Amino acid sequence: MMQPAVRAEPLLNVDNLVVEYGLGNKTVHAVSGVSLQVARGETLGLVGESGCGKSTLGRAVLQLRRAKSGRVLFDGEDLTAMEGEALRKMRRRVQLIFQDPIASLNPRRRIGDIVSEPLIIAGVKDAAERKRRVHEVLSAVGLDPDLVAGRLPHEFSGGQCQRICIARSLVLNPEFIVCDEPVSALDVSIRAQILNLLEEMKARFGLTLLFIAHDLAVVKAVSDRVAVMYLGRLCEVGPSERLFARPAHPYTALLLQAIPVPDPDIRPAESVANGEPPSPIAPPSGCRFRTRCPRADQQCSAEIPELREVAPGQFAACHHPLA
Amino acid sequence: MSAPLLTIADVAVELPTPRGSLRAVDHVDLSLEAGRTLGIVGESGCGKTMLSRAVLQLLPKRAKLTGRVMFDGQDLAQLAPERLRRLRGRDLAVVFQDPMTSLNPVLTIGTQLMETIQEHLELDAPEARKRSIELLAAVGIPAPDQRLAQYPHQCSGGMRQRIAIAIALSCEPKLLIADEPTTALDVTIQAQILDLLAREQRRRHMAMILITHDLGVVAGRADEVAVMYAGRVVERAPTQALFKRMHMPYTEALLAAIPKLDAAPHTPLPAISGRPPDPTRPLRGCSFAPRCRYAASDCHHAKPALTSAEIPGHLYACFHPIQMTERVGA
């Protein structure tokens, strides 16, 4: 199995990233000091529940949301220090796929124009060359270019629109794609098609992926390593198999336990009465998960736990990790 | 055995659209006894929500309903609007997917809860208030007396769904229809809400229809499961029997397409090719045939009827059912 070692020089290196939003006179602590690396050719899954900051982190990587502090190093260059033309050039190498495929396509433009627009912005002047590239990526995602290029988004289903979005993200030959919940708006039977397509495209175009989702089983299906976020902080990161088999952070364990399993012989475990995530406007002191954690004690409210290696490649930010 | 609480007999729903008539529900028969849970599973557009609307007699105005819905000895289609209105909310309650749209944003939680209780149970205001607080506590809302004065936007999605459940349970309904009650919620909150529904159901001996797109949700929670595709029930069985030995290729494909937690990363998923048929252009044969890997020529020419399997209560609609004798790999 492919298990790329994290080499000295990861393609993406997020270093102590802090992103905050203003909300009236309050501050939303969306991402609070997250560090993670993605090796070239690797898929890093990023999971967490709504409001945990996973999408903000994805946008901050692309500089669609500027960080308050911290750095985002892509292939050794600091994106947070870049502006204007330099940033635009860099963005050709880093693309984004969104959750709602229908909303992310302009309803008044034809598919061919939508997919070739990145080429126009990138300055590809030769129309024949643009057409060739558009045909290539539309075929790659399983659509017939001659049939779809002249049509409008509303003529396509959600799954087909997501194929079009994937084609658009591939047209500039990027190295890195942030996939933000790419299948959560799709039905089960279509979801599997799109997940398989992403895996195929990754192999064919030599991509590196940051795959953001709330569904742990979906994340595991495509990821080499998985990072778990809770309320703006990273709880745990490690190789997929290891993390799912032996979670070290109580929050990872809680998430795994909550997944409904399609097997009537497995009785759903009675959910622990552990309430809901607190507001990111006033996150708890110390460990942010402590208010819902069965293992929390005084140390957890006093000290912020650092990420520590609990097994080879597996790191958890917990004062009392699970054995 | 006593008569079932709910009997859906040959129910069909047609909706007029600019592109022609759309058969959203295509001659469905189902029944449910008191205290039991029926899971209805299917993907978007399969007709599961329209079927529940038909039970509630809450279909869009221009929809055409045929067939019979018998609830607690009464034919709901024959009831006068006033009788029906008194039945809904009291004996027949519903929880929708999106708690933000099912709660009124300009009324306090207390007003919305007490309105239902006073309307149906003829309690005075102090009694209704007391009961509201009890209900909110029962659905796991902390400081329920303070919540009564709050508005829906002041609550989280999970809290709002708890409140919607409290309103649905307020008059001790005999049947609760939960239409994707946890789809808008996070996975840890989903587990809490499903537990809450199961607990209250046991306590009240209430029947429940649990509508979902997730086979995982019904596996641990329903007594019986009906799988819908393109408006029809294509397989129906006691939950254990269904998961042990499914006969309809669509059910098998739907289960296989779900990513499994115990599968190794990068295992290709057995996807179902294509997509559901256009409901305004019904197929002559089996609706699933164009996507089915077992389809033969007969599947394209006639619709398979629901047929009994060897286990009592297990029905399937397929000319070439799978796993008829022994269990093959899931």
A263 and chain B: CB distance < 8 Å anywhere? yes
Q: Is residue A2 very low, low, confident or very high in pLDDT (cuts 50, 70, 90)? A: very low
**The Cα angle at residue B182 between residues B179 and B183, in degrees rounded to 5:** 85
Give the CA-trace dihedral at A52, A55, A60, A64, to 10 degrees: -140
- Categorise residue A123: left if φ over 0, alpha if ψ from -120 to 50, beta otherwise: left
Distance to chain A for B88, nearest Cα, Å: 30
Distance of CA B116 to the CA centre of its chain: 23
Query: Tell me, what's the pLDDT at A38?
Result: 97
Does the pLDDT at position A115 exceed 90?
yes
Residue in chain B lying closest to A215 (CA): B187
User: Which residue out of A47, A163, A183, A189 would a mutagenesis test of the B interface target, given it has the greatest number of B Cβ atoms within 10 Å?
Assistant: A189
Does the pLDDT at position A111 exceed 90?
yes
Query: Tell me, what's the pLDDT at A253?
Result: 93
Query: Tell me, what's the pLDDT at A86?
Result: 92
Residue in chain B lying closest to A193 (CA): B271
Q: Is B145 helix (H, G, I), strand (E, B) or coil?
A: helix
Distance to chain B for A273, nearest Cα, Å: 8
The residue among B105, B123, B101 whose CA lies nearest residue B114 is B123
A100 and chain B: CB distance < 8 Å anywhere? no
Q: Find the DSSP H helices in chain A.
A: 54-61, 84-91, 111-121, 127-140, 145-148, 158-170, 188-205, 216-222, 240-245, 250-258, 298-302
Nearest to A240 among B255, B265, B269 (CB): B265
Cα–Cα distance, A297 to A303 (Å, whole number): 11
Instruction: Report, as an integer, the average pLDDT of A17-36.
Output: 93
Inter-chain residue contact B257 with A189, CB threshold 8 Å: yes
Answer yes or no: are the C-beta atoms of B125 and B118 closer than 8 Å: yes
Residue in chain A lying closest to B291 (CA): A189
Nearest to A189 among B190, B195, B272 (CB): B272
Nearest to B271 among A189, A256, A257 (CB): A189
Answer yes or no: are the C-beta atoms of A177 and A96 closer than 8 Å: yes
A285 and chain B: CB distance < 8 Å anywhere? no
Q: Provide the 10 A C-beta neighbour count for residue A220.
A: 25
User: Which residue out of A187, A199, A244, A292 would a mutagenesis test of the B interface target, given it has the greatest number of B Cβ atoms within 10 Å?
Assistant: A187
Distance to chain A for B71, nearest Cα, Å: 28
Nearest to A261 among B190, B216, B266 (CB): B216
Cα–Cα distance, A124 to A191 (Å, whole number): 33
Query: Tell me, what's the pLDDT at B325?
Result: 60
Cα–Cα distance, A17 to B12 (Å, whole number): 56
The residue among A169, A144, A164, A139 whose CA lies nearest residue A152 is A164
Inter-chain residue contact A276 with B269, CB threshold 8 Å: no
Nearest to A222 among B187, B265, B271 (CB): B265
Residue in chain B lying closest to A220 (CA): B265
Distance to chain A for B272, nearest Cα, Å: 5
Does the pLDDT at position A132 exceed 70?
yes
Query: Tell me, what's the pLDDT at B102?
Result: 86
Inter-chain residue contact B213 with A188, CB threshold 8 Å: yes
Cα–Cα distance, B37 to A264 (Å, whole number): 14
Tens-place pLDDT, residues B63-83? 999 999 999 999 998 999 999
Inter-chain residue contact B269 with A222, CB threshold 8 Å: no
pLDDT 10s digit of each residue in chain B, 330 long? 568 999 999 999 999 988 888 999 999 999 999 999 999 999 988 999 999 999 999 999 999 999 999 999 999 989 999 999 989 989 999 998 887 788 999 999 999 999 989 988 888 999 999 999 999 988 888 889 999 999 999 888 888 999 999 999 999 999 999 999 988 888 888 888 899 899 989 998 999 999 999 999 999 899 999 999 999 999 999 999 999 999 999 999 999 999 988 899 999 999 898 888 888 888 899 999 999 999 999 999 999 999 998 889 999 999 999 987 654 444
Inter-chain residue contact A1 with B266, CB threshold 8 Å: yes
Inter-chain residue contact A263 with B219, CB threshold 8 Å: yes
A85 and chain B: CB distance < 8 Å anywhere? no
Mean pLDDT: which of A213-217, A269-273, B42-46, B287-291 is highest? B287-291
B232-238 and B224-229: which strand pairing? antiparallel
Cα–Cα distance, A156 to B259 (Å, whole number): 25
Query: Tell me, what's the pLDDT at A246?
Result: 96
Instruction: Report, as an integer, the average pLDDT of A186-203.
Output: 92
Residue in chain B lying closest to A292 (CA): B188
Q: Which of A85-94, A264-273, B157-166, B218-227 has the lowest mean pLDDT?
A: A264-273
Residue in chain B lying closest to A195 (CA): B269
User: Which residue out of B19, B195, B234, B261 would a mutagenesis test of the A interface target, given it has the greatest number of A Cβ atoms within 10 Å?
Assistant: B261
Answer yes or no: are the C-beta atoms of A314 and A239 closer than 8 Å: yes
B6-17 and B64-71: which strand pairing? antiparallel
The residue assigned the tokens 């999106």 is: B98
A215 and chain B: CB distance < 8 Å anywhere? yes
A1 and chain B: CB distance < 8 Å anywhere? yes
Residue in chain A lying closest to B263 (CA): A221
Q: Which of A2-6, A230-234, B259-263 has the lowest mean pLDDT?
A: A2-6
Answer yes or no: are the C-beta atoms of B92 and B71 closer than 8 Å: yes
Distance to chain B for A2, nearest Cα, Å: 9
Q: Is residue A3 very low, low, confident or very high in pLDDT (cuts 50, 70, 90)? A: very low
Cα–Cα distance, B113 to B130 (Å, whole number): 11
Q: Is residue A145 very low, low, confident or very high in pLDDT (cuts 50, 70, 90)? A: very high
Distance to chain B for A10, nearest Cα, Å: 21
Cα–Cα distance, B143 to B315 (Å, whole number): 47
Q: Is residue A273 very low, low, confident or very high in pLDDT (cuts 50, 70, 90)? A: low
Distance to chain A for B256, nearest Cα, Å: 9
Percent with pLDDT over 70 in chain B: 98
